[in-house]
Structure 1
Amino acid sequence: MTDLYAVFGNPINHSKSPHIHRHFAEQTGQDMTYTKQQVAPGEFDQAATEFFDKGGKGLNITVPFKLDAYSFAARLTPRARRAGAVNTLALQTDGTVLGDNTDGIGMIHDMHNLGWELRGKRVLILGAGGAVRGILQPLLEQEPQEVAIVNRTHHKAEQLANGFHDLGDVRALTLEALAGQQFDILINGTSASLHGELPPLPDDLLAPGACCYDMMYSAEPTVFLQWAQTHGAAAVADGLGMLIGQAAEAFYLWRQIRPEVVPVITAMRRQMTEKNQNHK
């Protein structure tokens, strides 16, 4: 019997999840199918209930349904509860549905694959939305020296910092307060760089050997990564590895097998580059 999995979202056509999980299933010899389904606003519970009633084993959840999935799950992992959002639903042996959030651990695994050290480092995060909330617990578990959050709306950054300060040294900073400070790891958690926007960052923000990570990804370097390269970053990376890393964590939750992510990252990066060149 082939096990059924899917990704729910709206819009969903752009989703690379079916492609990623097909790679994982072939690589690990798993008998499963994975589809994508566009769900209408307000119809998430009905769609998810139908999916599991028809024998579905697990779902990935993308925008705008991560809060719906949080409410839908009968049980939550500690990291999902902290994130306040769910991107993975897994049917349990007792018939209940577990909600998890694999975004943050996907990013941490990607940084480990890149050889980036987080322990004892000064980390700066741009943005204070749901994507950033999802990465904070796994990030703080790596024991950085400090995590600073900067957001256009400062009180949102403060709320986020207050919600996680029990896990480590995390605080909100204003853009003005960045003057004269240096950080080892910069993480862009906003989608603004995909639209060519970037907050006014000090020219000397990067410590020697600093690494810059954009949670967004595209065929061309984002504006944030272009800024990083021109301001002396030792290494830069976009979020393609995070996307594939969070999928691998979901796959492990469902199948108890951990797939190899690096070959999939390489294949998808090549595909994106070729597609981009063909459009030029």
Structure 2
Amino acid sequence: MSRHYAVFGHPVSHSLSPRIHAAFGKQAGIAIEYSAIDVEPSGFDAALQDFAARGGAGANVTLPLKEAAYALCSDTTERARRAGAVNTLIRNGDAWHGDNTDGVGLVRDLTERQGLDLRARRTLLLGAGGAARGVAPALLDAGIGDLFIVNRTPARADALADMLGQPGRVHVRYLDDLRNLGEFDLVLNATTAARDGGSFPTLPRSLLGRRSAAVSLSYGEAAIPFLAWARAQGAHESIDGLGMLVEQAAESFARWHGTRPDTDRIYGELRAESARLVTAD
């Protein structure tokens, strides 16, 4: 039986993961069969069982299934446990082993590709879902300063702060508090408002200064509203999630195949295509 890999999400037709893993496989001389599987949360368990029965050996998991994936794993890595979310599944006998490569992917992109020094940066994290859970522990490990979490549903922000377990360094605030929080060195958007078809929330200008960096965990059209806002406020850097996507994929590939691919070529290709699309518009 051939070994299959896939990305699960809803929606998932926009995903670049199949192309990225095909490029990694070509680079490593490994034949890759990697598909995109669209499934709603209610059908995820059954879809994953069917995938395993058809020879599924590993999978990536994107929104809105990362926390559900964590619950379906028989064992997980420490970084997945710290996040309470899984974006990488590895078949282990008759069970799934879960990992989370989002955080290391984000930090690697920001520090090594974008050249940001994250140390002591006063940071605002917008969102508290699976994507936010995946990156928050890694940001703290990278040495950011105080982390403020703001989410539309306060209970989810509280749960994320409790999970991170660093009172005095991690703070929960609410949407109405944003205008009173002052300026941040780093603002990350982990919300799904633009992706889900909703309107991007109005954010106060005071959040960003001339030395601030604004980072979207999304890429493509879903990242545009937040990054446009950041540029309009004069942010020093405005960065989308394309680099994070490529770097977390490389970490997943290494978990499955035992070799970590070079990411520069596929990132360069995707970035060039993205620039051409913006120019065409």
Q: Please state which band the TM-score falls in when normalised by the shorter chain.
A: 0.7 to 0.9
Q: CA 1:78–1:24 in structure 2 vs 1: closer, same or farther (change >3 Å)?
A: same
- State the secondary structure of the residue aligned to 2:186: strand
Structure 2 equivalent of residue 258 of structure 1: 260
Structure 1 equivalent of residue 164 of structure 2: 164
| Letter paired with 2:236 | A
- State the secondary structure of the residue aligned to 1:192: coil
- CA shift for structure 1 position 58: 0.7
Q: 1:238 aligns with which of 214, 237, 240?
A: 240
| Letter paired with 1:182 | E
Q: CA 1:116–1:29 in structure 2 vs 1: closer, same or farther (change >3 Å)?
A: same
Provide, for residues 33-64 of structure 1, a one-character-per-residue CA deviation record: whole Å limited to 9, x for no partner.
21223346544333323333443321112234
Structure 2 equivalent of residue 31 of structure 1: 31
- State the secondary structure of the residue aligned to 2:215: strand
Q: CA 1:204–1:277 in structure 2 vs 1: closer, same or farther (change >3 Å)?
A: closer
Q: CA 1:200–1:40 in structure 2 vs 1: closer, same or farther (change >3 Å)?
A: closer
Moved more, 241-250 or 175-184: 175-184
- How many angstroms apart in 2 are the aligned matches of 1:14 and 1:263? 20
Structure 2 equivalent of residue 185 of structure 1: 186
Gaps of 5+ in 2: none
Structure 2 equivalent of residue 16 of structure 1: 16
The aligned length equals 277
- State the secondary structure of the residue aligned to 2:270: helix
Q: CA 1:21–1:161 in structure 2 vs 1: closer, same or farther (change >3 Å)?
A: same
Native 8 Å contact 2:21 2:32 kept in 1: no
| Letter paired with 2:149 | I
- State the secondary structure of the residue aligned to 2:134: helix
Structure 2 equivalent of residue 247 of structure 1: 249
- CA shift for structure 1 position 115: 0.7
Provide, for residues 139-177 of structure 1, a one-character-per-residue CA deviation record: whole Å limited to 9, x for no partner.
111121211112334443233222213387110124436
- How many angstroms apart in 1 are the aligned matches of 2:87 and 2:172? 26
| Letter paired with 1:199 | T
Q: Percent identity?
A: 38
Structure 2 equivalent of residue 218 of structure 1: 220
1:199 correspondence with 2:186: no
- How many angstroms apart in 2 are the aligned matches of 1:168 and 1:141? 15
The correspondence of residues 7-156 of structure 1 with structure 2, limited to 5 A, is 7-39=7-39, 42-92=42-92, 96-112=95-111, 113-156=113-156
Q: CA 1:221–1:87 in structure 2 vs 1: closer, same or farther (change >3 Å)?
A: closer
- State the secondary structure of the residue aligned to 1:222: helix
Native 8 Å contact 1:58 1:254 kept in 2: yes
| Letter paired with 1:30 | I
TM-score (norm 1): 0.86
Structure 1 equivalent of residue 269 of structure 2: 267
- How many angstroms apart in 2 are the aligned matches of 1:265 and 1:153? 34
- How many angstroms apart in 1 are the aligned matches of 2:168 and 2:118? 13
Native 8 Å contact 1:123 1:148 kept in 2: yes
TM-score (norm 2): 0.86
- How many angstroms apart in 1 are the aligned matches of 2:133 and 2:5? 26
Q: CA 1:167–1:51 in structure 2 vs 1: closer, same or farther (change >3 Å)?
A: farther
Provide, for residues 209-246 of structure 1, a one-character-per-residue CA deviation record: whole Å limited to 9, x for no partner.
21110112225962221222222211110111122222
- CA shift for structure 1 position 184: 0.9
- How many angstroms apart in 2 are the aligned matches of 1:19 and 1:240? 13
